[in-house]
Every structure is written in C-alpha cells, then in structure tokens.
Chain A
C-alpha cells in the first residue's frame, strides 16, 4: 500500500486539538467543520446505499428539472377574476377560500390567517359582521384549500376569495411547450392589511378600490403590452432587479420600480380619468413590495413544472400557514405535504414588539427561496441584511451555505458581488439530509393577533423534521 511511503496528509473532522497536533507535525491537509446530518447511524448508512444504487436515475431527473427551472421564462400577460380563472372555484353548495401554506383546519388556524379569512368572508358578503363570519367559518360551510393546489401563491395569510382580481403569469420559454400558468393577487401594501389578518372597514374599502379601480387599469395596461410584446417579461425584470440590490422576497424596491417604468409608457393613453391613473401609480409607488406577488408567481410557475419528474430529489415547494410549515418533493409522484410546526423567526423587532408577540412563520413567499431567490440570493441585497440583523459578510455566507444544498445555479438570475455567479438553484433533499444544512428564509414577522400587522423581520430555517419525513418517503418511492 503506497500510503506508508508517502508523506502523511490528514484531513481532520472533530476535536480541534487533533488538528493542532497534526499541524505541529506538518501533517494536516485541512479541517472539516462538523455539521450533524439529519439522520443517524445505521439508518444513514442504509439510506446512503439506496441513494448510491439509484444515483444515476436521481441525477438524470434532477438534471432535467434543473433545466426546466433555468429555462422558465415567466411573462405577466393579463389579469382576471379568481372565480373565472380557477377551476371549480365557486360551487353552488360551498364557499371556497384559498390560503397560504399546507392544508389547515379551523381548530388550528393562527391569528393572522383567521383574521384574513374572516375579512375575506366579509368581502364576499357571506356575512355582515365578524361574529357571523366566524360562525360561517367554524361551520365548515367554507371550503379551505391551499393556494398552491390552484396554481396560486399568496404572501403571509395569502387569502384568495372568488371576487379577487389575479395576475396571470404564463410560461413563454421556447424549450417548454407546456401551457403552464400561475396566479397571484395584487399586493395590498404595508400596515393593517388583509394578509396580516386585518379585516376592518378600511381594509375592505381598500380591497374594493383595488377590485374596482386598480384592477381595470392594470388589466388594460397589460392588454396593450401583451398585444405589442406578448406581456411583461418578468424574467428580465427580476434579473435586472437582482443586479440592483433586490433579492425578490424581502427586498423588491428595484423590481417594483422597473414594473412601474414598464407600465408608465402605457398608462397615460388608457381611457380612465387622470386622477384614477395617478391614484393607481401612487398606490404602487407607496408599496416597495408590490412586485413580491409577481416574483412569487414567477417562482411558482417554474417549480410547478418539475413536479412530474419522477425520482428527482429536488424540493418543489416550501410554504407556511402560520401553524405548520410544509414542503413537497418533485420526484415523489403526487407528492403529499410533509409538515411540521412552523418555527418562530429569529427576528429584529420594531419598537415595542418582541418575540412574545410574534406569530410563527407564515406565507407562501418561501416559494422564492425554493426557486433560489430571497434568502438564497441574500448576497445580492446588502441593504436587507441590516434589516434582518446581520451584516454584508453574513449575506454572502448564507448564499454560499445554500450553495451546499442546491444542485445547480441559475443562469439568468445572478449575484453581482459573487462575480455574477447564478443564484443557488434546486434544493436537493439528499444534500439537506447529509449536510444537516436547513434551507434559510428571509421573512417578515406578523403579530400573532389578527389585524395588527408586521412587527419585524428576520431569518428562519425550515424545520428539520419535514426533510426527514420527506426523505423516508423519497427512499420508498425510489424502490418502486
């Protein structure tokens, strides 16, 4: 064995005193900081053996999936009303409402989500007072479904009701002949809004204004733009925004500005009273997160396309309903939700608020991280790191860390400070298990009582149990 006649070069993992001793002997190659995997002992060895056996299949499936994700070219083409766009959305017997995250029951709904659902019931005139709305909700008369089941995504409580206007995002990649679409509402703005569980008269008033005034204006703008250039190329806007300091989850100012720049050419020519056009612009300009719903829908559009690729170990969805955190795996046929209690966010709080007031992690916006944006692209957004309590080198550290659990990088969505390296793309369940590194999410924190609004922002890690559960199921699906 040649080992014994070469110089010794040892890689140390574990006690640092061993590394120092080796360094003294000039026999240390390097150290590997230990991170516990999510499984242990013999179970882990057996899982490794299974993964090795099916390695080829998994790699091929992931490669296909990664390709689709990279190629995806979302266009904002038009708008419509939920009940007209979504299948079976209004049955004659039941009322239907969509919400963020995995399925939830009345007994387990968190404060902000409940507030939003009650608000939506009022908005739809299924009740006239909050008490009545609560009775309607409790009675089971309202069918609750995840937004994700209807190709929709919603930030925070993410409630979508039949009368709400939705953006329509379509796939226009030349590689992809699918007729995929995704949908999202218009972002209401900050403060006391429905998605934070507020359901007061002001909230209703604003929602109706958005339906009656903002929606027609935006719809008309999009009709014009679609006619001339097929729609607004969101991929283009998003890649530019990343170059401008956005990460497209908690920082959307540049993207929102680019959106306004796009529609500004068209708005003056629309047949609406000037004041209404100005109000529409003012509304969008006052909300730096207006683009969020679009970046979420763009992410959703791409990820929905990998859910039929059997044996892919990529995560196709991460979403929270404020009570539970759920994920789905691309390669598990008809993947069920894998859920665990939603964690509390490690946050910086606005004055007078603290962790005691916080609601657990909430919203479909983790779809952006699933797509390699948001916290995964944190190195592109220095401004946000101060807000979530870190500094710029932390931002880079997080993006690089996520690179250890992803299978590839974006082509078009790049991070300037990392030499225009693409954002880490395709969270690989296998790597999460073996490295123990949990996906990280940048997020706002809602007050746990409905109607108060955002009380802070910070960083949260997806809970480990869901990956363990998903992994066991994934291994089973490999052998079939």
Chain B
C-alpha cells in the first residue's frame, strides 16, 4: 500500500539553492522513498485541502514503507536544525556583514558600487530597482524576469548612467574581479561586452591562456539585443570601453542582434577609434550585407576561438591583417587531427554513427549547431535552430546527432544548474556512452567561480567504469571530447584536472571548443568513407 504524508512548514522560505539542497538530501535517503519539495503547493497538486501559502514550505512523502516516511520527517527536522545552527554560528563569528535593504547597505557601506542580485526572478526586478535607486550598478543574475520588466529597468538605469547587466546575466569581470560565474583571467587591454555567459567564459579563458588579458567583461543578459530592449546595456558597455584608457581592443559577443540594433551597433563602432572584434554567433557573412560598407576597424569572426585569437593579435597593436598566430594555431590543430583521428577510427566499433553534444553552457551548444548547419549535418536539439523542429522526447538517447543544452528549462525544472550539479548530465553521459550507436560524445567542463569546486570527484567513478568496460570489450570504446573552459588561476586547479583526465584512454581534452567541434565532425566525415 502506498503511504503518503504531507508536511507544511509555515513561513519557512527557502531560496532556490537551499530548496535544491534539501530536495537532494531528501532524495538520497532511500530509493523507495519519494519526496517532493516545493515553495507553496505544487501546480499539479491534487491532494486534500492544505493550509499552505506561497511562502510556506510544502513537503510530500510517498513510500510503501511507513518507516521510510518517518525517516524522511526526521531528516527534514535535522536539515532545519542545522540551518538554524549555521546562521547562529555565523552571527557569533560575525563573519558576514549584513544590511536589511540596499538603502541601509549604501548608508553603512558608502563605498559600495555594484549590486549582485540572484534571487528568484519574480522579485528580482524590484530588488534591482532598489539597487539602482541607490546609484549602484547591477549584475542581475536572476532569470524569469519578463521582457517588460527588463525594459523598465534598463531605461531607468540608462537615465541614471548606470549599468544593468542582465537579467539572466551569468558573467562579468569588473576591475579584475570575477562576478557570478566567471574565471580568474589575466589583466590586460581587451574589453568585452557580451550577451552570453559561457561564451564570455570561453573567450576570456582562451585569451588568458594565449597571453592576452582582460580589462573588463561587461555582461548584458541574453535578450539585450532584441528589438524590444534595443541593446541599451550593450551600447552603454561599448561606449564605456570606447572611453576607457585601459582598453585598446573591444570584443562584442552575442547571438545575432535584431537588425535595428545591429545598425546602431555598427554606427557606434564606426565612431570608435579602437579596434573592434565582433562575434554574433549564428550570423552568416551575408547577414552583414545590408550594413556594407562595414567600418574599417571592425573585424568579423564566426566562432569563439577565432574571436579570441584575432582580438589578442589586434591588441598587440602590430599590423596583423593576416593574423599569423591564429593561422599557426589552426595548423597545429590540423596536425593534431591527422594524428588523433586515425587512432580513434581504429578503435571505433561498427555501426557507431551519432554525435552527442551534452552541454552545460548554452553558447557552446549554439556554436556546435552552427558548424553542423554549415556542414549540412542534421541534428536534434532542445535549443537553437533545431529546437522547434525536434519532436522527440530528448530526455533519453535517440538514434540522431543530438545537441543538448542542460541549462535550458527542459532540463533544469526542479534541478540545480548543470554547472553546479552534475547529476543529470552524468546520468545522460553514461546512457549515451553505453548506447551502441554513439560515435562520439562532446561535453564542456566550465571552471571558475560559481562552478563546481571539484569536478573530478564527480567524474572519476564513472570514467573508471568506462575504462573497465573498454578493457572487457574494445567494442565498448566511445571517444569522449571534453572542452575545458577555464584558466590555471581558477580554484579547480586546471593543471591537475587535465592530468587526471588525460589518464583515460577514451578522453581527448580541448581548450578550444571549436577545435573539439572540428575533431568531432572529422570523425563523422570519415564515417561516410566507412560506409
């Protein structure tokens, strides 16, 4: 018999992360105990009438074993007693300075200049407004903020000469300090304005790795270049970089802007005395036709790696029309392919056809989609160009080239973001790895602030089992291409991580995602020769 028990904790508001931590603790108790945790009654709730408001914590326990339900209830109490103890401890140690409002915070700490807001989207815009009223620039990490709210906030910010970075802005680097999800990069003379978090992470990490440096990375949030927003933050950022004496080269990074907005951007670039490198990921060269002639200081690029290299070379301020460093890198990559591909082909079993891209960063998922589109390779996906045409349930492997963005709602409803919690992605990597039709798997490991502090700990067990399976039978071999996004200064110890991962026979590491794409698609081309 299935037992059900409800528990309401009145007024016990948990933020999204605490909620997830509680949920995952509950779910670890026993596989025979099903626990649902929610703020307020869940949308699909059909049980008895409960006195539960939107700010009350709702818990539902289900099990055929009553003892497990009791255990669950005890765990809940333990969670809350620990939570209370933690905060009491903090108060005693006095480590965290707090204020009750932005107004109070500005009065107590008048040197404050930026607000970092990551609360639930329903309330985030109001909090951002309070911060702007106190003359603070805002990094609005929260998503689920409506387009109208975004417009309202950005007009307000513009009027006050303040930056509103967001909503859904995951990355910024200001004055050398990484904010939210960002990497510890070398300081230098390149400034970036970007509407894409992981895109900025990849570009800044690559730049840092080849000797370049960042003065500033200004995030704008993913929708800034839509017609309705008109690029308010993007243009303000461009203006700032134009005037900043520490910046000599500017990178513009985004998905393709609305034409009206692109027009404004091109006009501003023309007025700018500095070199500008633009990557509007997904644009073809033809999409710029209506803006010809393009300003002479503008260099168009079509993938993240190209953008990073060209910007670096321009920042060196020698005459570089031919971009020799970039050319050299491409040569190196070609050579590497010539070495690696035959080895992989010799290990690949028969009937392995499909490419599986399992991404935590949306921009990287788009980048590979771009390449696949250019090569006219069809694929299914939960994001980007193939999202609408894909009519499959993407929660399980399928016999198609597949690109998945695990950061999309499709997968994140009720889960932590994949950059923090690997559970969902790891489950899928295992499924895909053991699928007999998988030819190659690509995934990204994004390091830096905000990301999981010890990724290898999460991966080791699974990779060990893959290695063991390959020893049992070579037919189990599937190449795994890992794009490492990060710098040697990030907390995750990049060098050690590389060392740990390289030990596996099936893993190939890449610092550039574009290189991983080329390597993977080369494997597919050889497929046509095989059959």
Contacts and interface: CB of A to CB of B under 8 A. Distances in A.
Contacts of A4: 174-175, 216, 240, 244, 246
A27 B177 contact: yes
A25 B178 contact: yes
Given A21-B449, A34-B15, A461-B11, A13 B125 contact: no
Nearest to B449: A21
B410 to A, nearest CB: 22
25 contacts: A1-B161, A1-B240, A1-B243, A3-B174, A4-B175, A6-B113, A10-B113, A10-B114, A10-B177, A13-B102, A13-B119, A15-B118, A17-B450, A21-B450, A22-B177, A30-B112, A32-B100, A35-B13, A36-B120, A36-B122, A40-B126, A41-B146, A44-B126, A45-B126, A45-B149
A11 B116 contact: yes
A434 to B, nearest CB: 7
Contact of A434 (B106, B126, B146, B450): B126
Contacts of B15: 14-15, 34
Interface string A205-240: 000000000000000000000000000000000000
Contact count band on B: 35 or more
A40 B116 contact: no
A31 B96 contact: yes
Contact of A9 (B109, B118, B131): B109
Given A3-B113, A14-B118, A36 B123 contact: yes
Interface in A1-51: 1, 3-19, 21-22, 25, 27-37, 39-42, 44-45, 48
B175 A7 contact: yes
Contacts of A17: 17, 450
Given A29-B112, A31-B97, A10 B149 contact: no
A404 interface: yes
Contacts of B152: 42, 45
B119 A14 contact: yes
A35 B119 CA distance: 9
B289 interface: no
A464 to B, nearest CB: 7
Interface stretch (B26-34, B136-144, B497-505, B518-526): B136-144
B98 A32 contact: yes
Interface residues of A, number: 47
A32 B101 contact: yes
A3 B126 CA distance: 23
Interface in B422-478: 449-450
A346 interface: yes
Interface of B: 10-11, 13, 15, 17, 51, 53, 55, 96-102, 105-106, 108-109, 111-120, 122-123, 125-127, 129, 131, 136-137, 141-142, 145-146, 148-149, 152-153, 161, 163, 174-180, 216, 240, 243-244, 246, 449-450
B175 A29 contact: no
Contacts of A27: 177
Interface in A394-440: 404, 434-436
B96 A37 contact: no
Contacts of B174: 3-4, 8
Contacts of B125: 41-42, 44-45
B118 A13 contact: yes
Contact of B118 (A18, A30, A434): A18
Given A6-B111, A34-B119, A35-B13, 16 more contacts: A4-B244, A4-B246, A13-B115, A18-B179, A21-B178, A22-B179, A30-B105, A30-B109, A37-B126, A41-B122, A41-B123, A41-B145, A44-B126, A45-B126, A48-B126, A464-B55
Nearest to A437: B100
Contacts of B216: 4
Contact of B114 (A3, A40, A346, A404): A3
Contact of B105 (A14, A16, A32, A346): A32
